[in-house]
């Protein structure tokens, strides 16, 4: 057993229970989840209807009965504000020291939202990309309205968060998202919410009022994902529960489920909380005693296993070093012979590549003649071993990239300058990578 990776350690520390409440129109969707290193368990899910028009005491009693049934009466809930009632921004401040990030955000907060200057509540948290922060902003009236409503219902609330922070946190509890990035979509009440991640955009969250087919390329472009990246659903990026009620499906409860997972393990979640500190409730600390004991036992076992592993590794290393010393002369002779053979093989490959280069170039030019057939014409071609750059004119230039990428000779085509219209045609300049261009 080698040293634990940071992600592995985070998974072993993923222990806790949480309540997530999603405000969805006139409905509250409540999920209670428990997280352990072996996976997540959904203890219960309930929908409270018409909470805006019913007496608060009535639906508050319904909520309390549900928590009692799931054994979660001691937990304070994390509430997911409607995405349309807040603004989320990702702010990059490269070069700003970590201790100065909060002051830097505070200095420019008025430029990040459309609300009145003195009528907002905001919070920010740092992302894994250096100098990058996620900022959530909403109206003070929104926070006060929901805070008062939950207080009248007798519901303990630990914080107000939003979907982007919940999805970012929940997707990392038991695994790591795709490092190359992704975009996920969910359609509700005619709007489409997008969440995505990429090496340049650690947490992208936005709400659109167009169709998912139009949102996907817009979000992928913002995230700078590879062309043709297929959008996922919110459910695809969340851990599949090991156990859940029969009527529960992650796809139907995605945001409430994500909020509950993030609330279960707050130490590993993004610290975005729009509820003022004085209005926050906390969960009973007694519930952490069994967890703390279990964590202590696991830590002791991990240390014992690690020590045993280190001792075994040392004994094994001594045996290996002795065997290496015995075989080293033979290995050196074998390496010398292998190096000579490799040099000879490389010379043969170079000669073969040199021989076929003219044919490859002619094939590429012949393919360009086919792709850019009349009425398309080219006024310049720059052909190298790896790329080819073309400029010319066509009636419709936008579709040329797809046509080029479908060829067996070219890939990753892109416009190197904006398309410009001249007369009845469009001027274009395209650069494509040659398939097998390194030969």
Whole-number pLDDT of residue 188? 83
CATH number at residue 100: 3.30.420.380
Residue 224 domain flag: yes
pLDDT at position 3: 34
78 touches 275 (CB < 8 A): no
Same domain, 43 and 162: yes
343 lies in a domain?
no
Say how many domains are in the chain: 3
> What pLDDT does 68 receive?
95
φ/ψ (deg, to 5) at 204:
-100, 125
Q: Which two tokens stand for residue 185?
A: 């979509």
Within a domain: residue 1?
no
401 three-state secondary structure: helix
CA atoms of 74 and 96, how far apart (whole Å): 41
DSSP state of 189: T
CB 127 within 8 A of CB 136: no
Query: Please, is 21 exposed, middle or buried when counting C-beta atoms within 10 Å of its C-beta (0-12, 13-18, 19+)?
Result: buried
Q: Does any domain span residue 100?
A: yes
Q: Whole-angstrom Cα distance, residue 306 to residue 4?
A: 10
Residues 152 and 39 in one domain: yes
Same-domain status, 113 and 248: yes
pLDDT for the residue numbered 285: 52
Q: Are residues 160 and 196 in the same domain?
A: no
Structure letter (DSSP) for residue 44:
E
**Alpha-carbon distance 167 to 197, whole Å?**
11
pTM: 0.64
State whether residue 150 is helix, strand or coil. Answer: helix
d(CA 423, CA 437): 36
Q: Summarize the chain as % helix, strand, coil (round to 5).
A: 45, 25, 30
Residue where a domain stops, chosen among 222, 249, 283 = 283
Same structural domain for residues 397 and 419?
yes
In a domain, 297, yes or no: no
CA-to-CA separations, 126 to 86, 132, 180, 400, in angstroms, rounded: 19, 6, 20, 41
Q: Looking at residue 287, what is its pLDDT? A: 52
**304 found inside a domain:** no
Same domain? 252 vs 218: no
- Residue where a domain terminates, one of 232, 253, 273: 232
Confidence at residue 424, expressed as pLDDT on a 0 to 100 scale: 79
Digit-by-digit pLDDT tens for the chain (439 residues) are 333 344 555 666 778 999 999 999 999 999 999 999 889 999 999 999 999 999 999 999 999 999 999 999 999 999 999 999 999 998 888 777 777 777 888 888 888 888 887 789 999 988 877 778 899 999 999 999 999 999 999 999 999 999 999 999 999 888 888 888 999 999 987 899 999 999 988 999 999 999 999 999 999 999 999 877 899 999 999 999 999 999 899 999 999 999 999 999 988 888 899 999 999 987 655 555 666 777 788 889 889 998 888 888 888 888 888 888 888 888 888 888 888 888 888 887 777 666 667 888 888 888 888 888 888 888 899 988 889 999 999 888 888 888 888 888 899 999 998 988 888 788 999 999 988 754 4
Residue 243 DSSP label = B
* Same domain membership, residue 136 and residue 254: yes
- Model pLDDT, residue 79: 97
The range of the structural domain enclosing residue 221 comes to 178-232
Strand blocks (E) in 127-203: 132-139, 157-161, 182-188, 191-197
The packing angle between helices 163-170 and 254-264, to 10°, is 60
Helices 56-70 and 140-152: angle between axes, nearest 10 degrees: 70
Q: Which residues contact 258 (CB under 8 A, 6 or more apart)?
A: 20, 163, 166, 167, 169, 170, 171, 234, 238
In which region does residue 20 sit, left (phi positive, over 0), alpha (psi from -120 to 50) or beta (all else)? Answer: beta
Report the pLDDT value the prediction gives residue 435, as an integer from 0 to 100. 85
Closest CA to 225 of 200, 194, 245, 207: 200
> At 426, which CATH number?
3.30.1360
CA distance 26 to 82: 11
113 and 211 fall within a common domain: no
User: Same structural domain for residues 82 and 200?
Assistant: no
Report which of 297, 263, 295 is spatially closest to residue 72, judged by C-alpha positions: 263
Q: Is residue 421 part of a domain?
A: yes
Q: Tell me, yes or no, whether 97 and 23 share the same domain.
A: yes
- Say whether both 396 and 279 belong to one domain: no
User: Is the same domain home to 224 and 265?
Assistant: no
User: Which one of 251, 268, 283 terminates a domain?
Assistant: 283
> Which positions ≥6 away from 37 have C-beta within 8 Å?
11, 12, 13, 14, 15, 174
Say what the pLDDT of residue 5 is: 42
**329 domain-assigned:** no
Q: What per-residue confidence (pLDDT) applies to 9?
A: 55
């Amino acid at each position: 057993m080698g040293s634990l990776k940071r992600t592995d350690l985070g998974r072993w520390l993923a222990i806790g229970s949480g309540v997530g409440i999603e405000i969805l129109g006139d409905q509250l969707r409540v999920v209670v989840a428990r997280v352990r290193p072996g996976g997540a368990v959904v203890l219960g899910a309930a929908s409270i209807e018409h909470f805006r028009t019913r007496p608060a005491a009535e639906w508050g009693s319904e909520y309390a009965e549900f928590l009692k049934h799931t054994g979660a009466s001691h937990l304070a809930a994390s509430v997911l504000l409607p995405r349309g009632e807040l603004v989320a921004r990702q702010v990059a401040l490269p070069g700003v020291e970590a201790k100065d990030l909060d002051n830097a955000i505070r200095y420019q907060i008025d430029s990040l939202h459309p609300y009145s200057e003195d009528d907002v509540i905001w919070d920010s948290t740092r992302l894994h990309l250096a100098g990058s922060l996620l900022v959530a902003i909403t109206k003070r009236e929104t926070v006060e309205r929901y805070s008062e409503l939950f207080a009248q219902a007798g519901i303990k609330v630990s914080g107000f968060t939003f979907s982007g922070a919940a999805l970012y946190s929940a997707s990392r509890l038991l695994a790591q998202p795709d490092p190359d990035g992704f975009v996920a979509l969910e359609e509700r009440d005619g709007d489409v919410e997008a969440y995505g991640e990429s090496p340049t955009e650690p947490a992208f969250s936005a709400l659109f009022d167009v169709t998912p087919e139009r949102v996907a390329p817009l979000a992928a472009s913002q995230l700078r994902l590879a062309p043709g990246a297929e959008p996922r659903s919110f459910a695809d990026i969340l851990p599949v529960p090991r156990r859940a009620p029969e009527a529960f499906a992650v796809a139907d409860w995605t945001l409430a489920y994500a909020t509950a997972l993030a609330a279960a393990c707050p130490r590993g979640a993004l610290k975005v909380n729009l509820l003022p500190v004085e209005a926050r409730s906390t969960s009973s600390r007694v519930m952490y005693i069994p967890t703390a004991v279990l964590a202590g036992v696991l830590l002791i076992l991990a240390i014992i296993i690690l020590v045993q592993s280190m001792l075994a590794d040392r004994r094994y290393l001594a045996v290996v070093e002795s065997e290496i010393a015995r075989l080293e002369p033979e290995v050196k002779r074998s390496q010398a012979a292998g190096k000579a053979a490799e040099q000879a093989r490389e010379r043969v490959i170079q000669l073969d590549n040199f021989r076929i280069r003219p044919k490859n170039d002619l094939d590429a030019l012949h393919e360009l003649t086919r792709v850019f057939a009349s009425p398309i014409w080219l006024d310049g071609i720059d052909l190298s071993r790896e790329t080819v750059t073309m400029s010319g004119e066509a009636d419709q230039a936008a579709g040329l990239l797809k046509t080029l990428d479908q060829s067996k000779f070219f890939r990753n085509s892109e416009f190197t300058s904006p398309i410009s219209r001249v007369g009845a045609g469009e001027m274009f300049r395209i650069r494509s990578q040659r398939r097998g261009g390194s030969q």
